[in-house]
Structure 1
Amino acid sequence: MTVERILPTEEAYELLGLTREIADGELAPRVARFEEQGEFPREVLRTIGRSGLMGLPYPETDGGAGQPYEVYLQVLEILAGSWLAIAEAVSVHTLSCFPVYAFGNERQRKSLPDMLGGDLLGAYCLSEPQGGSDAASLTTRAEKDGCDWVVTGTKAWITHGGHADFYNVFCRTGGPGPTGISCVIADADTPGLLPQIPERTMGLRSSPPAQIVFDGARIPAERLVGDEGAGFRIAMQALDAGRLGIAACAVGLAQAAVDYATAYAKERQQFGKAIGEFQGIGFMLADMATQVSAARALTLAAARLKDAGRPFSIEAAKAKLFATDAAMRVTTDAIQVLGGAGYVSDHPVERWFREAKVLQIVEGTNQIQRLVIARSLTRD
């Protein structure tokens, strides 16, 4: 399947240049301190929002930047190469704006400019402690009481949990299965919406997820997004695009690892010459670079399908699967190139290794991506 490529505009090239300036000037100098201290970079994200990078693939008429998904993913790649938590935050926020953009009523859509401008940070409450991959079996319940939905249950692994200004909450308003699930949008100050202590994570320490407990949280009935019972469909459509965001983050992270390991291999001397001149190291670097290029090509090809209005969900699953697996391999090999130096925090490769792991899990584990791809091959 081929899709004619739409060449980026001059505006897109300027946007990518601006992103590189922000990544080099604002992100790279801060990432080590924020990750070490576990501090959430809310002000940094406001800077990202003021730069117009929080609503890139949405129309300008709604407050976005009107950029193709192919350009948006390249922005994520650049951000991830300097600070993965920021790139992931932009990806999750973009995902969190989708329900209101695609299914929201006129009153809900009035908030889009503030959402897409980054003034309001979003979170996506789908996973639960006992049900991550099996989202159709979620148990968080919303009962109608007069003019409100009363929501009770617990959501898990919520990016921006405790920091978000609005939460997309997927909850059961009907019977079992996907058709009993609806989506409501809740403000952070909703009584009964209770963020828990953030998780102690291996990576992404400046943006750890947290559980969100809903203890009889009263959400106005008018905050129902789309039709009652349409929640699962909304969630899956959003995740199709979200997987491309995670794939782009993986590409950016892996490219940073290749660049760093290559620079180290040029400078590190052993047996009278740079270690990069030894075939054992050179071939390793060649394989790393090839995997990154292949992951990037697969990711952007899926983005072009989306931009063309063609079905892209299976290609998104392939891109997410391949790119995140590649990031795990590449960051592992980057540590090996550095040897003992790669195992200490003086060099960023050990952080990239820790961060790459989570990309194989979020937005649907890679085992789920394989299941999705396999089913597409065997069904009529």
Structure 2
Amino acid sequence: MTTPKITSPYDPELDVLCEQLKSLADQTDATGQWPAEQLRLCGEAGVFEWFLPTEYGGQHWSDVDVVRGYLKLAAACLTTTFVITQRTGACRRVAAGENDSLKSQVLPQLAAGDMFATVGISHLTTSHRHLSKPVLTARRVDNGFVLDGFSPWVTGGDHADAILTGAQVMDGDTPTAEQVLAFVPTNQPGVQPGEPASLVGLSASHTGKVAFDNVLVTSDSLVAGPVENVMLAGRSSTPGGHETSTLALGLAAAAIDYLEEEAPKRPEFTQPHAALAGEFFDILEDLLSVAEGDAVCSKESLRQRANSLVLRSTQAALAAAKGAGYLSGHRVGRWCREALFFLVWSCPQPVMNANLCELAGLGTDN
């Protein structure tokens, strides 16, 4: 039987898919195994088509519809949805670039789920930027660039067919102001995925270091650059932007729904649930406005509020679950661990500062 394609965030088939993902989430967390079955289900349901233009086999959902879809997926299984965001990040970077040949070659495969690509770009945005020497460099050669170094945080690098990564262009031993983005097949000599890191949460995302040892990147694989601030080239997802806030809000929704389920049995949960639910819908309204391009608030403010809500709502769910929630394997305990992820993943410094001030009881204006 052919799986019906999900064509909008209001499609009942999306709810069916989310129930399937939810049923697999605890086992995936317990084993740390790559969510291959979840990704297969998503591919068959057309999830990978949401993010790409129709000329490449995509459905080209609006940013608002993508947010609504992500919210449901993240509430069902954050690990799977996080992996999809990294896959989507690679797709959108390629689609936003000027390499039409590369687009025609790989985007239809990505839309169909026949290829898995991921991103390794945190070293250009938030991670390891304090070091005097770039961790991943690009040396000019006659037919392109040679990459040397590593990307510190790559999700699913050991399962990827290709990694979209970025590197600092070098002039001898001196970094220049220019950077490049490249779509690098993992079967290319010198690409060496490391052992996935054991994380507090989301270990099944198989996030870890990928090394690049004398890896040749020709013009055929170049996505953008050489140019200054290559991450600003084209239109695509921004690390630390509203996509990450969407995942946080989706996880918060799962915890808030849990409180709602428990409230009929425990009347004392009614008021806390109402307060958290009200805050959720306030943030959701701003999130949807930002997705529509209406700057009702900064992405940093949105991220800080989403971070705060997901931490407090998951801990409220744990308090409601009591000792059972603290047992290994309970979904509420998993949510609490997963919520910590948002304090560290692509977290801009202003957001980090605001979260630290709130945790210290100083308020977010200090």
Q: Which amino acid aligns with 1:319?
A: L
d(CA) in 1 for partners of 2:176, 2:66: 30
| SS class of match (1:335) | helix
1:106 aligns with one of 100, 106, 109: 100
Q: Which piece of structure 1 moves more, 60-69 or 227-236?
A: 227-236
Shift of 1:93: 1.3
2:289 corresponding residue in structure 1 = 301
d(CA) in 1 for partners of 2:103, 2:348: 31
d(CA) in 1 for partners of 2:101, 2:289: 36
Structure 1 residues 36-63: Cα deviation after superposition (integer angstroms, max 9, x where no partner): 1111012421321232111313321122
Match status 1:62 vs 2:56: yes
RMSD: 2.8
- Are 2:97 and 2:233, in contact at CA under 8 Å, matched by a contact in 1? no
1:135/1:93 CA distance change after superposition, 3 Å: farther
d(CA) in 2 for partners of 1:298, 1:30: 31
- Are 1:70 and 1:300, in contact at CA under 8 Å, matched by a contact in 2? yes
d(CA) in 2 for partners of 1:12, 1:242: 25
Q: Which amino acid aligns with 2:108?
A: P
The runs of 5 or more residues in structure 2 that have no matched partner are: 1-5, 355-366
1:169 corresponding residue in structure 2 = 165
1:210 corresponding residue in structure 2 = 208
Match status 1:83 vs 2:77: yes
1:32/1:183 CA distance change after superposition, 3 Å: same
Shift of 1:227: 3.0
d(CA) in 2 for partners of 1:188, 1:304: 35
Match status 1:233 vs 2:231: yes
| SS class of match (2:18) | helix
TM-score under structure 1 length normalisation: 0.82
2:343 corresponding residue in structure 1 = 360
Shift of 1:148: 4.2
d(CA) in 2 for partners of 1:304, 1:136: 37
Q: Which amino acid aligns with 1:188?
A: T
Shift of 1:235: 7.0
The runs of 5 or more residues in structure 1 that have no matched partner are: 1-9, 268-274, 372-380
d(CA) in 1 for partners of 2:107, 2:124: 30
Shift of 1:201: 0.3
| SS class of match (1:12) | coil
d(CA) in 2 for partners of 1:216, 1:43: 34
Shift of 1:124: 1.3
1:350/1:188 CA distance change after superposition, 3 Å: same
2:120 aligns with one of 115, 125, 133: 125
Shift of 1:340: 1.9
- Are 2:118 and 2:155, in contact at CA under 8 Å, matched by a contact in 1? yes
| SS class of match (2:139) | strand
Query: Which structure has greater helix proportion?
Result: 1
| SS class of match (1:228) | strand
Structure 2 counterparts to residues 134-153 of structure 1, below 5 A: 134=129, 138-153=134-149
- Are 2:256 and 2:317, in contact at CA under 8 Å, matched by a contact in 1? yes
1:282/1:14 CA distance change after superposition, 3 Å: closer
2:255 corresponding residue in structure 1 = 257
State the number of aligned residues.
Answer: 345
2:38 corresponding residue in structure 1 = 44
2:320 corresponding residue in structure 1 = 337
TM-score under structure 2 length normalisation: 0.85
| SS class of match (2:47) | coil
Q: Which piece of structure 1 moves more, 167-176 or 207-216?
A: 167-176
Q: Which piece of structure 1 moves more, 81-90 or 281-290?
A: 281-290
- Are 1:136 and 1:232, in contact at CA under 8 Å, matched by a contact in 2? no
Q: Which piece of structure 1 moves more, 167-176 or 147-156?
A: 167-176
d(CA) in 2 for partners of 1:69, 1:143: 36
- Are 1:247 and 1:323, in contact at CA under 8 Å, matched by a contact in 2? yes
1:334/1:217 CA distance change after superposition, 3 Å: same
d(CA) in 2 for partners of 1:230, 1:321: 28
Q: Which amino acid aligns with 1:315?
A: S
1:260/1:131 CA distance change after superposition, 3 Å: closer
d(CA) in 1 for partners of 2:131, 2:59: 33
Shift of 1:119: 2.0
1:181/1:135 CA distance change after superposition, 3 Å: farther
